[in-house]
Amino acid sequence: MAPILEVEGLQKRYASGHEALSGVDLTIEKGEILALLGPNGAGKTTLISIICGLVTPSGGQVRVDGHDIRHDYRKARALIGLVPQEIALEPFETVWNLVRFSRGLFGKPRDDAHLEAVLRSLSLWDKRDAKVHELSGGMKRRVLIAKALAHEPKILFLDEPTAGVDVELRRGMWEVVEGLRARGVTIILTTHYIEEAEEIADRVAVINRGQILLVEEKARLMARMGRKELRIELQ
């Protein structure tokens, strides 16, 4: 089976001259969960932003299900759901309207049954008529995921979905990811937390200073390195 995502020799030098990515290669198979683990400034958000077509690379290639993100942007982007790090949602809009608009942005025909299934899978169905400002922080993060899933993407990017949240909310998010895995969604999530990678990933990639240091099956990696050694890699 062809990989759902192929990244080859990706480079990014920002206008400031800073080299955020220096030759990143990554291949993701359908249905897997990859944790992209790296410290602050490692290049995680830059990598995701390029894959999603939001930032132009200085070199290299990205193919989503065979579609080149630069030359075939619409087709490639339609296969991607992106959950950004920052919560930026219209405060006075209802949950239902937000997911409906998100689907419409991709030119997909109305499909209320799909949107209902998405909201139910995230325990948001009862909140569909609530306005964003009435929701808790954890619920808002779920709304971001629902928006990202509204157009039925094949691959979902979660950029630090649990940064700065308490242990309970983090566990809640892990359950959400587990539920998405059960529905066959391919997921790439970035994180600073080794425990998070350990908990939910099939494979772990470690990125630092714009380079992928390793990509390995989680079980093999944990058997080989343990948390302490991994922490040293992340410094």
| 206 forms part of the interface with ligand ATP (CB under 6 A) | no
- Four-residue CA torsion sign, 93, 95, 100, 101: positive
174, 195 contact by CB (below 8 A): no
- Four-residue CA torsion sign, 9, 14, 16, 19: negative
Q: Partners of 212 in the beta sheet?
A: 207
State the binding string over 7-46 for ligand ATP (x if CB under 6 A, else -). Answer: -------x-x-x-x-----------------x-xxxxxxx
* Closest CB to ligand ATP among residues 14, 92: 14
* Closest CB to ligand ATP among residues 46, 186: 46
Phi, psi of 130 (to 5 degrees): -80, 150
* Closest CB to ligand ATP among residues 130, 234: 234
Distance from C-alpha of 20 to C-alpha of 5, rounded to nearest angstrom: 20
* Closest CB to ligand ATP among residues 31, 39: 39
Q: Partners of 118 in the beta sheet?
A: none
| 191 forms part of the interface with ligand ATP (CB under 6 A) | no
Residues binding ligand ATP (CB under 6 A)? 14, 16, 18, 20, 38, 40-46
